[in-house]
Amino acid sequence: MLVAIHQPNFLPWLGYFDKIARADRFVILDSVPLQLTGGNYTNRVKMIVSGKPAWITMPLRRGHEARNRIDQAEYVGDAGTRRKIVRSIAQSYAKAPFFSSVMPLVERVMGRETASLVEFNLAGIYAVAEALGLRTDHIVRSSAMAVEGHSNELLAQIVRAAGGQTYLAGQGAGGYQDDSIFAANGVTVSYQGYAHPVYRQGSVDEFVPGLSAIDALMNCGPEAASMIGSKRN
């Protein structure tokens, strides 16, 4: 069984959904501290805004307790901020070929009435997965598992607790991941090797990879489903 593990990102990129498509079990890593430095995507993602790539950010409630664990983190309950994000996306993608069919998805996700980061982000993940034709019944949360440990040891324990024998790692994991720790726990490691597709991004002169999957859906519609599950480096 192939197990992928990832934090509950906010409207993630296509590579995130490629993991969901490939994995036999996809574990939402919500039992670890919320990191807000470096390459954090739990409350932000890049989209094309006013013709340029820019961050779309959901504001988080401040305080130690709110950030102690991801499953305790909360978004600020500001409906005005969410409406502003929706307007920004609508204005930026108004001329996209599939705007009329994808924008309702964005409005539905952004209108979800919950402060929980995990519940809000999962709503977006499930909605985009459905639009891409992916199953989601294999998604579970690490907070529901009896697992302990840190870093690679924790990931290996999650794979075992999920009934897996192989861990599906992202292409950037090789720089910091110690595969010997997985081996010591009876887990083999397989690297994702996702090759980002290039497609027409409206008025952008040069293709921008790594944007939210919403960008691919806006510009490619149903064809976005063919961009995951098979493309490899």
pLDDT digits (tens, 9 = 90+) for 121-156: 999 999 999 999 999 999 999 999 988 888 889 999
Q: Give me the half-sphere count of Cα atoms (radius 13 Å) on the Cβ side of residue 30.
A: 24
Residues with Cβ within 8 Å of 28's Cβ and at least 6 positions away in sequence, in order, are 6, 7, 8, 118, 122, 139, 140, 141, 142
> Is 233 contained in some domain?
no
Total number of domains constituting the chain:
1
**Identity at 210, one-letter amino acid code:** G
Q: 62 versus 16: which is more confidently predicted? A: 16
Q: 52 versus 40: which is more confidently predicted? A: 52
> Is 161 contained in some domain?
yes
Distance CA 109, CA 111 (A): 5
Q: What are the tokens at 45?
A: 């993602």
Closest CA to 142 of 8, 20, 13: 8
Closest CA to 152 of 24, 70, 32, 8: 32
> Is 172 contained in some domain?
yes
The pLDDT of residue 231 is above 60: no
β-strands 25-28, 44-49: how paired?
Answer: unpaired
Distance CA 29, CA 42 (A): 11
Q: Find the largest Cα–Cα distance for the chain.
A: 53
Distance CA 188, CA 6 (A): 17
Q: Specify which of 48-52, 62-66, 200-204 reaches the highest per-range mean pLDDT.
A: 48-52
Domain range for residue 99? 2-227
What is each CA distance from 206 to 52, 200, 215, in whole angstroms?
A: 10, 9, 14
> Is 171 contained in some domain?
yes
CB 215, CB 199: distance < 8 Å:
no
Q: Give me the half-sphere count of Cα atoms (radius 13 Å) on the Cβ side of residue 173.
A: 20
> Is 207 contained in some domain?
yes
Q: What are the tokens at 146?
A: 């009896």
pLDDT recorded at residue 233: 43
Mean pLDDT of 61-65: 70
> Is 116 contained in some domain?
yes
